[in-house]
């Protein structure tokens, strides 16, 4: 295991270096230890989480690399057979976290882990199965976006009806300021991502492989667009490929990251149902879009709806369910974070959002001297914080935000 | 008000005269008083029910006909304005229960009311809105059939999908020995009735008009077939026509009569939703068949499913919900009524049902010396009582019934 790389990751917006900026927090050494461990144990394996909790990252890495042997720290950690320990040691031999980090940085990805400002705290609900960290491509803050996110998932081999519903829900949720999270797969996932992208909205693809991999291959262009306009996220290190179990375990991240999961179409025993059930276990909202009782691709959804899942027909019903009180009366909610704690990039965008009319993204980008993609990311963050609201294709300040922002403008 | 007719109604099967036979019970005088009152107050008006409960039928009739005036019994009953009383008196002037009864008997209809053996006790859940009585056309016992009945209702202007689902549910419920109750209307109702009829099953049409009226006119043939093979039921006296409020109030009878109501397709504010909500209020099961979220004709069903209604996709799910424990293990349930209390017609049919194989209706009819339609009615009654079970197109004895029946056969 070599440790040569310098930067511990990039803050969202790519503005800050390792350990600096409001969204970073974890020292480089621990970050590299976590990247190392993520190469040794598979996603969702509670082993890594338990070791971290019981021994701390450093001690575990030392044991796995044999560095602790001289000080009596060698041998398998508790609960691991000799044979399994040998396998883990072999993986540890090949792990090179500094190289992983450098490779990720070359393609604009960062490693976000517990303790970072960008870490989405709701993932902690996964307990020891919590990801050791997430590789993230894209400008926006994963933490901010996840606060107002909904998963829209479903069958790969969906019907035209399923694709239509996913696209409409993706677009309409985006229109309402919700971040659409899905798995980047063919069928329902792709339709949901495209719906959100087409509406100029925010979307997050959680992959079951490295965030440098385009899987499925046919989605190379789509995943690139999501990385430009939204976020591409994954537990697996750059270069890693998906496996059946990785798909299943990826689903728990989608479920945990979001306020609720909507299943659009799913046959019996579909992977999308696994996401929905994970959401239920985590206490998230679980929703299903009904379809014809004669459709095998709705049978899994209907099974969910016969349980605790809630039937939803449109984005309004989803927002009503997963939205908090503020959703029903957004004007009465003020910003949850003081303006002067906003990142400089977000403040520049906020300064360009008008109070009395909704401005298109391009206009705001022009004023803030940045790209439209950057602005979209900032606006969705600001939306999470209660500063701005979306009206069709435009954005304006919320009523509560107007006072502080306008007084600030007078100061300038 | 004249009182000239003799018979107080026919027992199911048309075997017994007024007041005689195991399914009758109410004396002719009270029967005529109820028929009279049903002409004076509209269906569902709690006035009639309250008067009956507080004063008894005879006293109310005397007050309405003015016969009690000489003895200080004149004037409006409590809670009725002078003006309304005058209107009720005018209707009372025109009422002629004996003529109603005679007219009904000419077309093979009987008047079943609380106290009769054929009265379905579950209608009592309607409280003072309980029908004063029901006119019934058809051979079977309304009481027995209602014990194992499910309402299948929905939009008149249904889609092909809705008609398909209603027909399949009607047929499959009938195959499982369930009686399919609906309103005889175009669309979902007709498809459900036809599905049950086509499967050689039992179906009941509850009309919002006199049972001698074919409404809608286009269903003259269908309603005739239901009267032949099943039951046609209504609160309104022969000759009465439907009105919008009568349709709505008819729905409470469908809801109360059955173990549960399935809504197949319904737009927002559809009459079928009124039936479903009445079922909910009465503590019956309420079910909905999902459809595309894009279909306006499923929007009302989906609204129900977002509440307490249960999503159902097929007859098995319906039967699982509304069936009692015996449904899951039918062999363990013995007959609920001793054989020697069965009507002679039912005993003759039961004697022809084989123990080791399922016999078709025609064969049983031949052996019992009666018609196939009569046999179908008897078999569904015997099914309610736990004696027989349906297997595809045939009928055989239940395991529990075999002992008593075979011992009886040895006696013969």
**Greatest Cα pair distance in chain A:** 69
Question: How sure is the predictor about A185, in pLDDT bands with cuts at 50, 70 and 90?
Answer: very high
User: Span B124-129+134-323: which CATH code?
Assistant: 3.40.50.450
Give the three-class secondary structure for A263: strand
B304, closest residue in chain A (CA to CA): A311
The model's confidence at residue B391, banded by pLDDT at 50, 70 and 90, is: confident
pLDDT of A20:
36
b/e code B366-377 from CB counts within 10 Å (16+ = b): ebbebebbbbbb
Tens digits of residue pLDDT in A79-108: 788 898 999 999 999 999 999 999 999 989
Architecture in CATH of A134-323: 3-Layer(aba) Sandwich (3.40)
Give me the pLDDT at residue B386, please: 80
pLDDT above 70: residue B62? yes
As separate numbers, helices (DSSP H) first and strands (DSSP E) second, chain A gives: 18, 12
What is the model's pLDDT at position A129?
Answer: 95
Give B395's contacts (C-beta < 8 A, 6+ positions apart).
B353, B358, B359, B361, B364, B379, B388, B389
The alpha-carbon gap from A162 to the nearest alpha carbon of chain B, in Å, equals 9
Sheet holding B388-391, edge to edge: B359-360, B394-397, B388-391
Q: What is the pLDDT of residues A232-250, one digit of tens each?
A: 999 999 999 999 999 999 9
Report whether pLDDT(B317) > 50: yes
For chain B, the residue count is 412
CATH class of segment(s) A331-411: mainly alpha
Q: Tell if the CB–CB gap between A290 and B298 is shorter than 8 Å.
A: yes
- Cα–Cα distance between B174 and B204 in angstroms, integer? 12
Has residue A333 got a pLDDT over 70?
A: no
Taking an 8 Å cut-off on Cβ atoms, the answer to whether B290 and A305 are in contact is yes
Residue B117 has pLDDT above 70, yes or no: yes
Say if the ipTM goes beyond 0.85. no
Mean pLDDT of A365-387: 87
Mean pLDDT on A220-236: 95
**Who contacts B274 (Cβ-Cβ below 8 Å, separation ≥6)?**
B248, B251
pLDDT tens-place string over residues A138-167 = 989 999 999 999 999 999 999 999 999 999
CB atoms within 10 A of CB B331: 10
CA angle A357, A359, A361 (to 5 degrees): 160
Instruction: Give the tokens for residue B287.
Output: 């079910």
The Cα-based distances of A14 to A32, A147, A222, A290, A337 in angstroms read 19, 21, 22, 42, 21
Strand order of the sheet with strand B179-182? B109-112, B134-137, B231-234, B203-207, B179-182, B149-153, B260-263, B285-288, B310-311
Mean pLDDT value across residues A59-65: 91
Residue B116 CA, distance from chain mean position: 14
pLDDT in tens, B66-103: 865 554 456 788 778 889 899 999 999 999 999 999 99
Give the DSSP letter of residue A309: P
> What confidence score (pLDDT) does residue A335 get?
54
Is pLDDT of A22 > 60?
A: no
Q: Which of A292, A311, A314 sits opposite B305 (nearest CB)?
A: A311
Question: In the prediction, which pLDDT does B103 show?
Answer: 94
Query: How much is the average pLDDT of A270-297?
Result: 95
**pTM of the predicted model as reported, rounded to 2 decimal places:** 0.79
Contact A253, A131 (CB under 8 A): yes
| Shortest distance, CA B161 to any CA of chain A (angstroms) | 8
Overall average pLDDT of the A268-274 stretch: 90
Tell me if chain B has a CB within 8 Å of the CB of A396: no
Length of chain A: 412
Neighbours of A232 (CB within 10 A): 26
d(Cα A244, Cα A39) in Å, to the nearest integer? Answer: 18
Query: pLDDT at residue A367 above 60?
Result: yes
- pLDDT of B313: 97
Q: Which two tokens stand for residue B341?
A: 């209390």
Average pLDDT of the residues in B275-291: 95
**Cis peptide upstream of residue B51 (ω within 30 degrees of 0):** no
Span B356-364, average pLDDT? 91
The answer to whether A291 contacts B290, with C-beta atoms less than 8 Å apart, is yes
Q: Is the pLDDT of residue A14 over 50?
A: no
Domain boundaries in chain A? 28-101, 134-323, 331-411
Q: Which of residues 269-308 of B touch A (CB under 8 A)?
A: 289-294, 298-299, 302, 305-306
Residue B78's pLDDT is 78
Give which of B42, B12, B57 is closest to B245, Cα–Cα.
B42
Q: Give which of A158, A166, A288, A290 to mutate to test B binding, by max B Cβ within 10 Å.
A: A290
DSSP string, B309-331: PEE--SHHHHHHHHS-HHHHSGG
Contact between B165 and A305 using a beta-carbon 8 Å cutoff: no
Out of A45-59, B255-269, B368-382, the most confident range is: B255-269
- Phi, psi dihedrals of residue B138, rounded to the nearest 5°: 130, 165
Q: Is B314 on the interface with A (CB under 8 A)?
A: yes
Q: Which of A293, A306, A313 sits opposite B293 (nearest CB)?
A: A313
The answer to whether A195 touches A162, Cβ cutoff 8 Å, is no
Tokens found for residue B189: 């109702």
Give the CATH architecture of domain B329-411. Orthogonal Bundle (1.10)
Give contacts of B290 with chain A, Cβ < 8 Å.
290-293, 298, 302, 305, 311
Q: What is the mean pLDDT of residues A301-306?
A: 96
Chain B residue closest in CA terms to A162: B292
Write down the residue that tokens 């689902």 correspond to: B165
Contact assessment for residue A176 and residue A321, using Cβ atoms and an 8 Å cutoff: no
DSSP of B87-145: HHHHHHHH--HHHHHHHHHHTTEEEE-BTBTT--GGGGGGGGGS-S-EEEESSS-HHHH
Q: Which two tokens stand for residue B393?
A: 């197109």
A256 touches chain B (CB under 8 A): no
Residue B4: pLDDT above 50?
Answer: no
Check whether A410 has a pLDDT greater than 50.
no
pLDDT at position B30: 93
pLDDT of residue B330: 41
Residues B31-35, mean pLDDT to the nearest whole number: 95
Q: Could you say which DSSP state residue A125 is in?
A: G
Please name the member of B164, B294, B311 whose beta carbon is closest to the beta carbon of A305.
B311
**What confidence score (pLDDT) does residue A15 get?**
37
Helix H, strand E, coil C: the string for B359-385 is EEHHHHHHHHCCCHHHHHHHHHHHHHC
Q: Provide the pLDDT for residue B68.
A: 55
| Distance, CA of A248 to CA of A251 (rounded, Å) | 5
How large a percentage of chain A has pLDDT more than 70?
86
């Amino acid at each position: 295991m070599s440790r040569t790389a310098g930067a511990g990751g990039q803050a969202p917006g790519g503005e800050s270096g390792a350990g600096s900026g409001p969204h970073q927090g974890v020292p480089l050494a621990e970050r590299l230890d976590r990247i190392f461990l993520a190469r040794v144990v598979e996603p969702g394996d509670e082993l890594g989480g338990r070791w971290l909790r019981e021994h701390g990252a450093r001690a575990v890495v030392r044991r796995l690399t044999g560095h602790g042997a001289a000080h009596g720290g060698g041998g398998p950690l508790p609960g691991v057979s000799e044979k399994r320990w040998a396998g883990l040691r072999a993986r540890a031999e090949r792990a090179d976290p500094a190289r992983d980090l450098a490779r990720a940085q070359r393609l604009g990805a960062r490693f976000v882990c517990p303790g970072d400002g960008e870490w989405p705290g709701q993932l902690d609900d996964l307990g020891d199965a919590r990801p050791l960290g997430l590789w993230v491509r894209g400008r926006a803050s994963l933490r901010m976006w996840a606060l107002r996110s909904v998963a829209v998932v479903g069958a790969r081999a969906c019907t035209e009806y399923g694709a239509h519903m996913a696209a409409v829900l993706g677009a309409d949720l985006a229109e309402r300021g919700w971040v659409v999270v899905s798995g980047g797969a063919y069928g329902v996932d792709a339709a949901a991502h495209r719906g959100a992208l087409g509406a100029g909205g925010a979307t997050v693809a959680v992959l079951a492989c490295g965030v440098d991999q385009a899987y499925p291959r046919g989605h190379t262009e789509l995943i690139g667009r999501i990385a430009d306009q939204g976020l591409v996220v994954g537990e697996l290190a750059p270069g890693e490929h998906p496996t059946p179990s990785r798909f299943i375990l990826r689903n728990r991240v989608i479920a945990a990251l979001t306020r609720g999961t909507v299943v659009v179409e799913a046959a019996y025993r579909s992977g999308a149902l696994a996401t929905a059930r994970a959401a239920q276990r985590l206490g998230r909202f679980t929703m299903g879009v009904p379809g014809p009782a004669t459709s095998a691709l709705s049978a899994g959804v209907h099974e969910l709806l016969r349980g605790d899942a809630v039937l939803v027909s449109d984005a309004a019903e989803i927002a009503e369910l997963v939205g908090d009180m503020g959703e029903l009366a957004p004007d009465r909610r003020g910003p949850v974070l003081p303006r002067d704690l906003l990142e400089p990039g977000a403040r520049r965008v906020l300064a360009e959002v008008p109070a009395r009319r909704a401005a298109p993204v391009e206009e705001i980008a022009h004023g803030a001297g940045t790209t439209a993609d950057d602005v979209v990311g900032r606006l969705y963050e600001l939306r999470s914080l209660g500063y701005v609201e979306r009206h069709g294709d435009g954005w304006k300040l919320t009523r509560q935000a107007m006072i502080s922002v306008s007084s600030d403008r007078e100061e300038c």
